[in-house]
Amino acid sequence: MGEGGVGQEQPPADGAAEATVEARRFCGACGTPRELNALLCRTCADRAAAAVSIANPAISFSSEGAPIASALALYFVFLAGSMIGIIILLSTEDDRLGAPVDLWISVINAVIVLAWTARSWHDTSPGLRRTGGLIWYPLAAVGAIFTFLIASGVVAFVGLITNLPEVRYSDYLLEAGYGWIGVILLVCVQPAIIEELAFRGVILSGMARVMAVGDAIIVSAMMFMIIHLSALSFPHLLLIGLVLGWMRVHTGSLYPGMVLHFVHNGLVVWEEAFGGRWLPW
């Protein structure tokens, strides 16, 4: 308890002229009349009693805000990597640059994400240490079929109402001589691992430290959606992001999400390879 609790009194010091006990009629802190025999009025006494309290360090992005700052920094550095690729491709007429730029940006973004994963190892590693129940892997693969169908539907619908050219992921890589292995590595494996590490690993875990888990899933899914920079893909990207976030939380592991992501992208590549004959549209 601090000084000035109700009922306590300060004895007058010897030899010094000061307001005597009887003459102390007002609270020294706020000037209101105080109770007899009290040094402070009740309100101020309460406040003074709380003088000894937990030291509060200032809120800065170096302490409590660290997960948010780290997540946002990763997002914007990742975005910068993609934008540099876009700028390079926009500034040249050479179509053949598409594949090497894609390769380099994929490598650079992978390094960035791995660096951030290492930096936030405390938050990210639990998702890598756990594998979740075995049932989740076939479930993830089947789930990917559904997400693929929804994504294809949205893309087909957009194609119907606009005359935008269809985006194909494998053609320019094959033309550059990367082969189907290269396509699978760049289109299926790298995004599955790196985007899961980034959005469900670093970002989701970091956000979950400062907000409710449900909110963290939504926020990380929205960031996942926006980073693809394709407004027309927003609907299915958001849906997939929410599913992946939920899987990470529910299974405790990043791996089922990686499987879903890999199979989804794999189905896109499969469809490009074998044509859309097996789809109803």
The contact set with another protein (CB under 8 A) reads 10, 13, 16-19, 23-33, 43, 46-47, 50-51, 53-59, 61, 64-65, 68, 72, 75-76, 79, 83, 86-87, 90, 161-164, 207, 210-211, 215, 218-219, 222-223, 226-227, 229, 231-232
Min dist CB 189 to another protein, Å, is: 25
Nearer to another protein, 2 or 138 (CB): 2
The helices-and-strands tally (H runs, E runs) of the chain is: 12, 0
Nearer to another protein, 32 or 92 (CB): 32
- From the list 251, 202, 209, the residue with the least C-alpha distance to 224 is 202
Distance CA 246, CA 221 (A): 10
Nearer to another protein, 26 or 146 (CB): 26
Min dist CB 228 to another protein, Å, is: 10
Q: Confirm if 72 and 58 have CB atoms less than 8 A apart.
A: no
Distance CA 196, CA 213 (A): 17
Min dist CB 120 to another protein, Å, is: 17
C-alpha dihedral over 120, 126, 131, 133, to 10 degrees? -140
Nearer to another protein, 164 or 167 (CB): 164
Nearer to another protein, 40 or 194 (CB): 40
Q: Confirm if 30 and 43 have CB atoms less than 8 A apart.
A: yes
Per-residue exposure over 181-196, b if at least 16 CB sit within 10 Å of its own CB, e if not: ebbbebbbbbbbbbbb
Enumerate the β-bridge partners of residue 203: none
Write the single-letter amino acid at 100: P
What is the token pair recorded at 258? 């990686």
Distance CA 201, CA 127 (A): 7
Min dist CB 43 to another protein, Å, is: 8
Nearer to another protein, 10 or 118 (CB): 10
Min dist CB 270 to another protein, Å, is: 28
Min dist CB 84 to another protein, Å, is: 10
Min dist CB 92 to another protein, Å, is: 14
Nearer to another protein, 148 or 224 (CB): 224
Distance CA 173, CA 160 (A): 26
